[in-house]
Each structure stands twice: as structure tokens, then as C-alpha cells.
Amino acid sequence: VGFITPLLRSVTFGMPVMLPNAICMAFELATYGLVSGILSGKMKKDMRSLYISLIISMLAGRLVWGLVSAIVYALMGFTWKLFFMGGFVNAIPGIVIQLILIPVLVNRLYAAGVVKPAYEGK
């Protein structure tokens, strides 16, 4: 789902631009899903573990985005400044929003009984 979403959005709405943005985002979002899925399956279902999983997933996604960007942008004037700005500085608002909203959403899903945590804190 993470891989196809930016590609489908690019084809449907024209944003993000397919090359280079949607291609790089596809690998990044697929990494988020893969890493967070693996970690959430192996870690306790408490808020501390959720934050750890979320942060590691974001870092892994950014790393993959950087590697794919290096390949895609090689012919387009890729620089480390571009990577740093696009990968981290410009992403800070999204990172902060994710760190606030995702734990709140997961906690609400637990409280509503929609999702049952494997670890109850006992």
C-alpha cells in the first residue's frame, strides 16, 4: 500500500510529480510500513514501544528515501544539501505531526476496543 500510494496519487492528481518525487516516496513509504510492521509485531504494545517503532521507522524510511534519491537524482544534480533539506529539514513539520497524532490515534483505537493490544501492562 505504501509503495503504490504516491505512484497512484501522481497518476491521478499529478502530485507529487512522478519523477523524481513519487518514485522516491514510494520506496520511503514501503519502508515505513515494512519496518513498523516488523517492529510492532516484535515489541510490546505500549506507548514507549510505539514511539520507538515510529522513530526507527521514520529514520529507516528517510534513509531509503536518501538512497533512492541519490540514484534518481544522479542525473539531475543531486547534492547532500538537497538530501538534507528534503529528507529532514523540510520534513520536520510532518515528523512532529506523526509523533503527536499516531500515538494518540493508536491509543484511541485501543481504548475503543477496535484494536486489542497484545501487552496489557500487567
> Tens digits of per-residue pLDDT, 51-91?
999 999 999 998 899 889 888 887 787 676 776 676 777 78
Q: What is the pLDDT of residue 83?
A: 67
Q: What is the pLDDT of residue 122?
A: 43
Model's pTM, two decimal places?
Answer: 0.79
Q: Which residues, at least 6 apart from 119, have a Cβ–Cβ distance to it below 8 Å?
A: 44, 45, 46, 49
Q: For residues 73 and 105, what is the distance between their CA atoms, to the nearest angstrom?
A: 36
Q: What is the pLDDT of residue 54?
A: 93
Q: What is the pLDDT of residue 118?
A: 58
Q: What is the pLDDT of residue 13?
A: 97
**How does DSSP classify residue 74?**
G
Q: Which of residues 119 and 19 earns the better pLDDT score?
A: 19
Q: Which residues, at least 6 apart from 47, have a Cβ–Cβ distance to it below 8 Å?
A: 103, 107
**10 Å Cβ neighbour count for 58?**
20
> 6-36, pLDDT tens digit by residue?
999 999 999 999 988 899 999 999 999 999 9
